[in-house]
Amino acid sequence: MSKQSVNRLMLVFFILLLIIPSSVMGEEMKTNQNEGEDPVFNNVSVHDPSIIKEGDMYYVFGTHIEAAKSKDLMSWTRFTNGYKTPGNALYGDLSANLAESFKWAGENDSDSKGGFAVWAPEIFWNDHYINKDGTTGAYMMYYSASSTYIRSAIGYAVSKNIEGPYTYVDTIVYSGFTRDEAYDANSVINKKWDNTNIKDLIADGSLTGTRSGWFNSNGSYNNSTFPNAIDANLFYDENGKLWMTYGSWSGGIFILEIDKTTGRAIYPGQDGTTADGRLIDRYFGTKISGGFGKSGEGPYVVYDQKMKYYYLYVTTGWLAADGEYNMRVFRAKNPTGPYVDAMEQNAVLPGNVDHSPYGNKIMGHFLFERNVGDPGTGIGYGYLSPGHNSVLYDEEKDQKFLVFHTRFPQRGETHEVRVHQLFINKDGWPVAAPYRYTGEKLEKINKEDIVGDYQFINHGKDISKTLKKATTITLNNDGTISGANGSWELSSDDYATITIDGKAYNGFFLRQWNSVAGKVGVTFTALSNEGMSIWGIKTIERTEEEIVEIVKNQLDLGDTNAIIANLDLPTEGTRGTQIAWHSSNPEVVSAKGVVNRPVIGEENATITLTATVTKGEATATKTFTIIVLAEKLPRLVAHYSFENDLSDRTKNVASGTLTGDRIDNSGGKISYGAGISGKAAIFDGASGVRLPNGLISSNQYSVSLWLNPDQLTDFTTTFFGARTTENWVSIVPKGPVRAETMVWSGSNWYDAVTGMQIPKNQWSHIAFTVDEGKINVYVNGIKKFSGVGFPNVFTTTNATFGLGVNYWDLPYKGLMDDLLIYDGIVLSDEEIQTYYGSGEIPRVEEMIEKLIQHFVMNPGIRESLFVQFDNANRDFEKMEQFLKQGNKAQAKHFKANGNKKLEHIIKRVEQSSGKHIDEKYAKQLISYLEYVLETRE
């Protein structure tokens, strides 16, 4: 290639890039930190945990019939087997045991089609329960069986052994019923009210009849006013009466009295209102929180004998990692309310209002971010969507514990149980310790130990997806605060009063195990009279020189030998340390990390980046060698047709290899059967396929495959690609959004939903294309989703790829056929439709060779094309000049001229190749053709 051609190509690409727009988780996980006196954690995934203590053992029971036990609230052991039946660890023959509840919801019905939905149990020891054999005392499990967001039922089962088996007794509350005969999608259950226990309650005189308000004018269930019957919680009041709270979203949280000898509900029998105007319903009981379809679930009431208050904990927001889950608390003098927050606001909403101001927010999304120079590894310490808590008052330890599940930043839908200690502040409100419990207790703390720098979080009152990141403040020796406008005070050994912007927060100073630093340190937790919680975690004291040296040593850009995307160059380290960057070749890698790759046919570029680290008067430098790879030819990377093997028909890459039930496991088995074309791979639900690394290494690609699932399980992947465990793309037949088939990406969450779920035992074609953030998803040749802002996942050359398995979820069970993976190419609607209809595979290599031959045989056409390319280049150069001069009119004129020439070039290429191609691919193709033709001549 001539020097003139190289310069021309570099300039064209640089200008065009600047100015032309382009269109179940839940398995046991171990984190043993056992160094000397370090606490030992064994984490488990039990969603919606209900806590109970039996002897010296703590138990949590949760959704999907999961449970675990621990002697120290840190190291947990799972002892259940999920929905397995027969032989279920808690219920034996699950279908037979809970059959009465399942007549209404929860088994192979609607949202639980093909499985079960047994959620959010409450575990409760009842001294007064009379067993069938006449003895008294039993463990009672109040469970939720659910089929839709409103059609649910609460039943209970009992056992004399806390680990079961539990025997069904009764179903006491139903919701989602209708006035007349009606059916949900994928359901044969008649939802009419007389298919619930209401019919029998009317017959025995417990109810006088149905209530007209239960139904909307069209006869459907009025879930804006009345509850969804899930999330039971039981407690004794100060007089020994037994109560059950329950509810989720819909009409709010309700409370019913329970007969403590039978476990059955004592229904009010008639409608009414409380003295403060809250709803009393003959069947559902008294409303104590929420309403109007607003979020609010997982109620948990505990009576504090010392404070003489009933504390109601409620979680608001959507529960997933991309939701807004956060825990709140109210209190009341009576079990039936009214429950109010620190601002004396009633927990029952006054109307269809924004409910974020209501309730004291205990915690929501947060991240104590780990910057360069901070101790530990990873991104730091934080939670996403912590919630659905229970509370344990451990009288033996004289401690209170908040027990909940949470997800985590950059860990997808993985969730685990966490236990934080609770303290009651001087205003009588609970506040939660910033770190998980490791055996700490409140103790005398000296002022001099408190003084120093802190990472600071204000949880606020919002119900939002915002991940609140810590800022740095300093608690000075004179009682002032730097980094915020405020002051602080220590009193009575451990009481904390933190005043910021004129608002006082009351709580405690305490010493806790810092899981990031791996040592004990000072923290604080406090609450304002507006119901906002704040946390502080003290950082390690260091000199400026020490900080700079640590930042320098920790500064790392990873593998810099094959850069294909922009670099993330940190500009700030720990304690406000500044990091400035200098590049030896800013045109290839800028000081901000922007990468401009050499064009096709050019050599890779080697650059030196220098970082200067500064804090105060201290400074240090560190250099990095960066190798930027040249652009590569877009192509069909792989075609796996599964003709009795896992080979790639293009022979570009290696064959796939077998895995076990996760992408990083060994073992597994794949067989073959009749496919959509020839043979297909049969996935057995316990195995997967690991594909070669690096199949996609751009932000323009296309994936196409055929699926015929035997089962549809939550989150199960079919095609999976990941740069890391936090950055991935997945084709999910049954995704987290309304159980729809979708392309799902995390952990910068993106839901490319199709509005449908592909059927079982039937072939469906799925394809998706990504074009620099624009994504299209197709089902059977029809575009079902189009969106922008899709994450740039494949920014390295060694991403991991697999079929039927990922790092977390149940493997795929069913057939798969004819997988096509294109890198650098965005297939058009027409190409995908043609392939679906006829099976004609877009052959990129054939198109390129056809173009090369065409131009070799027609030098006049070729030269004309290249002249137009140069003319377009000159137009864009002039446009750039006028932009710098501020002459937007002339700049717009030359941009239009350049674009017009490019459109003509694209048409010429399409005519020569017989294929439709997009703008960026045409430009890359022309550059490559120029290179190939010059080298051939």
- Reference 936, options 874, 855, 876; nearest CA is 855
b/e per residue, 773-799, with b = 16+ CB within 10 A?
bbbbbbbbeeebbeeeebbebbbbbeb
Give the number of other CB atoms < 10 A from CB of residue 854. Answer: 17
**CA gap 284, 619 in Å, rounded:** 68
Range(s) of the chain covered by CATH 2.115.10.20: 85-359
Domain 635-840 grouped into CATH 3.40.1280.10: no
User: How many other β-carbons are positioned within 10 Å of the β-carbon of residue 223?
Assistant: 20
**Residues forming a β-bridge with 507:** 496, 526
- Exposure b/e, 528-541, CB count within 10 A at least 16 = b: bbebbbbbbbbbbe
State the span(s) of the chain assigned CATH 2.40.128.10: 395-402+404-538
Q: What is the pLDDT of residue 919?
A: 54
Q: Which two tokens stand for residue 256?
A: 């019913």
pTM (2 decimals)?
A: 0.77
Structure tokens at 248: 């989720």
pLDDT score, position 749? 81
pLDDT value, residue 207: 97
Tell me how far apart the alpha carbons of residues 163 and 417 are, in angstroms, rounded to a whole number.
Answer: 19
Other beta carbons within 10 Å of 440 = 17
| Residue spans in the chain of domains classed CATH 2.60.40 | 544-628
Structure tokens at 870: 């140069």
Q: Which residues lie below 8 Å from residue 176, measured CB to CB, with a gap of 6+?
A: 105, 147, 148, 150, 151, 152, 191, 221, 223, 228, 229
* Secondary structure letter of residue 376 according to DSSP: S
CB-based contact 221:293 (threshold 8 Å): no
Instruction: Count the Cβ atoms, other than its own, within 10 Å of residue 608.
Output: 13
In contact, 757 and 772? CB cutoff 8 Å: no
Peptide bond into 21 cis (omega under 30): no
Cis peptide before 165 (omega within 30 of 0): yes
| 124, 140 contact by CB (below 8 A) | yes
pLDDT of 464 reads 96
Strand order in the sheet with 136-146: 118-130, 136-146, 152-159, 167-175
- What pLDDT score was predicted for residue 26? 31
Whole-number Cα distances in Å, 540 to 235, 453, 516, 547: 43, 8, 11, 10
**Domain 395-402+404-538: which CATH number of 3.30.470.20, 3.10.620.30, 3.40.190.10, 2.40.128.10:** 2.40.128.10
pLDDT reported for residue 926: 55
Long-range contacts of 134-138 (CB under 8 A, 24+ apart): 135/160
Task: List where CATH 2.60.120.200 sits in the chain.
Answer: 635-840
Task: Please provide the size of the chain in residues.
Answer: 937
The contacts of residue 348 (CB under 8 Å, 6+ apart) are: 252, 278, 279, 287, 288, 289, 290, 291, 337, 338
State the angle between helix axes of 919-936 and 859-885 in degrees (0 to 180), rounded to the nearest 10.
130
Which residue numbers in the chain have pLDDT < 70?
1-36, 601, 843-866, 868-869, 873, 876, 902, 905-937
Please tell me which residue in 48, 281, 413, 875 is annotated as part of the active site.
48
- Is 645 catalytic? The answer is no
Q: Is residue 664 flagged as an active site residue?
A: no
Q: What is the pLDDT of residue 933?
A: 45
Instruction: Write the class of the CATH domain 544-628.
Output: mainly beta
Q: Which of 111, 122, 231, 297 is catalytic?
A: 297
DSSP 281-332: ETTTEEEEEB-TT---EEEEEEEETTTTEEEEEEEES--STTS--EEEEEEE
367, two tokens: 């991240």
Cis peptide before 206, with omega less than 30 degrees from 0? no
Which parts of 795-843 fold into alpha helices (H)?
829-838
Kindly report the number of other CB atoms within 10 A of residue 26's CB atom.
Answer: 24
Q: Which residues contact 558 (CB under 8 A, 6 or more apart)?
A: none
Tokens matching residue 654? 């290696």
Distance (Å, whole) CA 761 – CA 272: 52
Q: What are the structure tokens assigned to 648, written together?
A: 């790639």
Residue 269 to residue 282: CA distance in whole angstroms: 4
Pairing mode of beta strands 605-615, 764-771: unpaired
Q: Do 869 and 905 contact (CB within 8 A), yes or no? A: yes
Instruction: Name the token pair of 463.
Output: 């119900």
pLDDT of residue 897: 79
> For residues 34, 40, 42 and 48, what is the CA-based torsion angle, rounded to 10 degrees?
-150
Contact 706, 676 (CB under 8 A): yes
Distance CA 540, CA 472 (A): 13
Given 2.60.40.1180, 3.30.420.40, 2.60.40.10, 2.115.10.20, which CATH number is that of 85-359?
A: 2.115.10.20
CA Rg value for the chain = 32
**pLDDT value, residue 848:** 54
